[in-house]
Structure 1
Amino acid sequence: MKKYIYKISLLACFMALVSCDKDLEDINVNPNKPLEVPTGGLFNKSNKDLMTNTRGGFPSGRMALPWVQYSAQRNYTDEDLYLFRTGVNNSLYTDIFLAAKGYKEIIDIVTNPNNQVKVKTYGHPGNMLAASRIMLVYSQLQALEIYGDIPYYSYGSDDPDFEAMTIGTPEAKRTPKFAPQDKIFKDMLKELKEASESIELDSGIFNQGDFLFGNAGKMKKFANSLRLKIANRVKGVIPEAQEHIADAIKSGVMSSNDDSVGLKFQNDKVNPAPLYRAAFIDNRNDFAPTNTFVELLKGEEKMVGKKNPFKGIVDPRLFKMVAPKTNITKDENNKDIETAVSFRASKTVGSIEQGNYVDRTADFYVGMPIGILGSFTGSQTGSVSQFGSAVYKADKVEVLMEYAEVEFILSEVNGWNDTNYKNGIKASMLSWGITQTEVDEYLKDVPSANEENVMTQKYIALYMQPYEAWSEYRRTKFPKTFLLPGETRDLAAPGPNGETQYTFVPKVDLKDLPERITYPSDMDLVNKANKDAAAQRMGGDKMDTKLIWAKK
């Protein structure tokens, strides 16, 4: 009772301080928690959450990046050996679908007949709907190609197998079915086609909050390019994919780097890019470029039985993607001295955080051994490079899809066309800040297009887009430069007991890269029956169960 009287007294005092004509409703409004979120705000939040939660230190740095051998861990290597953390998997699955739910919420707002006057103040209703349909495909595609069969939502289909995201509707399904992959891919192609065709090019999209597209023309090219990507991936198992490939190209795909779509983060410590946060806010120096990737860029062949299709050619992207082991600085007598490149900002030597080191010759770039035991890391880190400063920029652009990838896809669908192939290389290099002169010199030396060359260059261009690179490896088994389970290669420095070599022995029984991630353990608590049915349909909830397009 005393507690209750005390609260009443406080309320009375507060009301006495406000003017007599101030409504109680106004008093209770929290200015920091608006009652209504405009669609542009929902769009921006969903985009930011999706990219942050799929490109961060755990889901990317400790899972996908080492699996496709862009990155090796400098401390704990269980994930490099395919033993991922259950909690990270649970979060990854949940975060993808929470972002997708945000896009669906925009659809619900835009299509509600009671909201039409208000909706027009947020932007162009038809184009906002198209943007949400496109991003629903993009977000759910992430989950589809990680797990296989998933619960799926479609705006334009009433297929009874599509039961995801119905909570809050009259037909809510708290334990939705997991839809088969072939059905989902077919619907995604249909959704992207319909969304693209609905776009009004002479109108805007969101009045504010759109940091992805900016204009309807760019959004349309993204929708068509994403449809081209998906159709190309499933062309061997879904007959109508070939028609979608032709139609997407005809409808207009990305044609320059200006058409690339990515989310640029802030150059601060409030909303920085995911890897900057992992490194310089969470204060973790956990990742380094791998030996296999660095040697590919350097044009080296250091593994028995592995051929580098670009042997003898140094890729100028090496100096952007990777930092040298050491830097040249001046001593008190203005003489050059060689010092290790610092990870964090330093007043005395060049650092990754500041990006103020100097480029060196290729021999100063050495990759971290991928696939070693954690007990070996301490003997290796002092002899290897860090990621280049561009990878850790606070205002880094996290790419959803870029023009270079489109050109590599066009090379493939055009019978490994050489012009498209070289256009892809050029676009990737220019996006990394390589000069036109350096690009021209490289293209003079690079071998002509064939399947291996195109797919290996595509792998390089997808650097820091690890889930996409993983999908392409599972589909094609390129590049051929990976260190696979059971294979042996040299260490960067003597091991803890003087070892000079190591063998990649994963902690999960796999002979190649994982084919998928097993369903989150949370599914056993909330939707076990449908999860088990999906697993049985696919061939088992295992890391070597192939998706429908992974036939090699």
Structure 2
Amino acid sequence: MIMNKLFKRLTFLIVVFTISACTKDFDIINTNPNAPDTVPTSYLMTNAQTYIMTTLRNNGLGGRMGMLYAQYWSQLALTDESRYYVFSGLTNNSFRDLYLNLYDLQDIINKCKENPEENGASGYAPNQIAVAMIMQAYTFHIMTDIWGDIPYSEALQAKVNTTPVYDQSEDIYRSLIEKLKEAINLIDVSQPGMRGDIIYTGNMNKWKRFANSLIMRIGLRSGDLNAVREAAPNAFQSNDDNANFQYAATGSAINPLYVDWVENKTLGKQFAVSKTLVDYMLNNNDTMRLAAFATNLEKNPNKPAIYRGLTYGLTNNNSILEFFKGVSLQTERIYKADASTPLMNYDEVLFILAEIDNDEGKFREGVKNSAMNWGVEKASAQQLADEIEYKGLESIINEKWVANYMQGIQGWAEYRRTGYPELKAPVDGYHPSAMVGDLVVPNRRQYPPDESQLNGVNYNKTVEKLLDPGGQQQTPMFWQK
């Protein structure tokens, strides 16, 4: 969806009112940044979806954390983050921006509850509330998987709360399942859907399926298999149900990787596809999906393709030396201006069902649908699925990892939960300031330093419970293996 001048103007107004509502210390999650009352809820939804996906898939939180920690990518230069140095500015900005957009979603909920008829031009009010709740659940789920305990129950209160408590991650998980069920029950498919919705363009049947699929993901990770089984019949049924965000060729909703890599001329200077991923896929003869992920180094079209990943966790000098020997970069499909990016796909539902029932058939269906989702023809996708060896949980998670390419935070979470795939500790060792002990990858992200100043009492109570309050990266999540 291309945002027109009116939307840009309204987005500007939202930013202006947001900043004016904040304290001089930019107290983000502890201040209510209300948008002006005249902004339609449809614009709030477009704005929230756009900037949530931008924050999660940009060069920062998406590239320099998620795609590195899951070892889909390796850093080419300034390789500190692949060796687990944490830039405080990136963490501060990501934490702040996600809460700002959660506020936009809460604003939709509040407006539709208080004045359903007045806001009816953007869709049937309960449907609007449901979409906003599902997007909030998606966002909070990812945030608690990154940081663990976070402000949740008091974070989006209508009245200004300068010191929201940090809720336990396990409690947040339970609440999210209930919130998703509540959202599902609100949906009336006979009534108009949410306008301004980029993901499903207001198709409420698909929002129902997405909500049930999210319940399956959250339920599996937290061990609530009853919730998984209850949601499964109404979850995604095919790739047609996939939740994807479509970037625009121009304007505010342009792919952030296009801006970072093409417009800012950094393509091939920051990331290459990781050797961990390339080697795994080559060993499985999975070259058709690999061709969608990584560039072919063989320039002669009459010769077999060559793919070579960059070793993970090199120092700057060693990374540059390996780069000059030839490594595969990301394909244009990943960074083109109007690319689409997944929130969750049908193949993940199949892998979840395969795991809880040790179902080889569902596993192979998951591989096939993932391959088709990446542009592989059905017959070739079926052949790939038939030929991959099945070894239970290891195979399921390994292939789920491949299918989750571009969802780096999910790949990282599944490794923490199961120990698969076989990721590598940084080859050249940890950054001198990394505080991860002997972990292969961090168990969580350090909290934003701003929080120690803006919400110090609750921040201190939370970090005191961690194994390593100084580094905060070693304490496992409640759902970890």
Query: How high is the TM-score relative to the length of structure 2?
Result: 0.88
Q: Which amino acid aligns with 2:475?
A: T
Deviation at 1:509, TM superposition (A): 4.0
Alignment of 1:309-458 (within 5 A): 310=284, 313-328=285-300, 361-362=304-305, 364-382=306-324, 383-414=326-357, 416-448=358-390, 450-458=392-400
Q: How far apart, in 2, do the equivalents of 1:48 and 1:30 lie? A: 14
**Cα distance change on mapping 1:288 and 1:30 into 2, 3 Å:** closer
**Cα distance change on mapping 1:360 and 1:105 into 2, 3 Å:** farther
Alignment of 1:10-159 (within 5 A): 36-112=38-114, 115-152=115-152
1:89–1:520 Cα contact (<8 Å) kept:
yes
1:292 matches 2:220: no
Q: Which amino acid aligns with 2:412?
A: W
Deviation at 1:35, TM superposition (A): 6.3
1:246 matches 2:218: no
Q: How far apart, in 2, do the equivalents of 1:359 and 1:201 lie? A: 52
Q: Which amino acid aligns with 1:425?
A: V
In structure 1, which of residues 509, 527, 545 is the aligned counterpart of residue 455 of structure 2? 527
Deviation at 1:203, TM superposition (A): 2.0
Deviation at 1:477, TM superposition (A): 0.8
> Which structure has the bigger radius of gyration?
1
Deviation at 1:36, TM superposition (A): 1.2
Q: How far apart, in 1, do the equivalents of 2:293 and 2:303 lie? A: 13
**Cα distance change on mapping 1:212 and 1:375 into 2, 3 Å:** same
Q: How far apart, in 2, do the equivalents of 1:116 and 1:360 lie? A: 63
Deviation at 1:106, TM superposition (A): 0.3
Other-structure match for 2:476: 546
Other-structure match for 1:163: 154
Q: How far apart, in 1, do the equivalents of 2:154 and 2:138 lie? A: 18
2:122–2:196 Cα contact (<8 Å) kept:
no
Other-structure match for 1:223: 211
Q: How far apart, in 2, do the equivalents of 1:247 and 1:404 lie? A: 18
In structure 1, which of residues 258, 267, 282 is the aligned counterpart of residue 249 of structure 2? 267
Show CA shifts across 1:444-480 (max 9, x none): 3211251100100000000110011111111001002
1:118 counterpart SS class: coil
Deviation at 1:506, TM superposition (A): 4.2
Where do 5+ consecutive residues of structure 2 fail to align?
A: 1-8, 14-35
1:261–1:400 Cα contact (<8 Å) kept:
yes
Deviation at 1:147, TM superposition (A): 0.5
Query: How high is the TM-score relative to the length of structure 1?
Result: 0.77
Q: Which amino acid aligns with 1:190?
A: E
Q: Percent identity?
A: 27
Give every structure 1 segment of 4 or more consecutive aligned residues whose post-TM-superposition deviation is greater than 6 Å: 29-32
**Cα distance change on mapping 1:61 and 1:104 into 2, 3 Å:** same
Deviation at 1:116, TM superposition (A): 2.9
1:99–1:139 Cα contact (<8 Å) kept:
no
Q: How far apart, in 1, do the equivalents of 2:43 and 2:71 lie? A: 36
Q: Which amino acid aligns with 2:230?
A: D
Deviation at 1:52, TM superposition (A): 0.4
1:537 counterpart SS class: coil
1:97–1:140 Cα contact (<8 Å) kept:
no
2:212 counterpart SS class: helix
**Cα distance change on mapping 1:109 and 1:425 into 2, 3 Å:** same
Q: How far apart, in 2, do the equivalents of 1:290 and 1:359 lie? A: 26
Stretch moving more, 62-71 or 513-522: 62-71
Deviation at 1:314, TM superposition (A): 3.6
Q: How far apart, in 1, do the equivalents of 2:321 and 2:55 lie? A: 32
**Cα distance change on mapping 1:121 and 1:359 into 2, 3 Å:** farther
1:210 matches 2:151: no
1:269–1:277 Cα contact (<8 Å) kept:
no
Larger proportion of helix: 2
Deviation at 1:369, TM superposition (A): 1.5
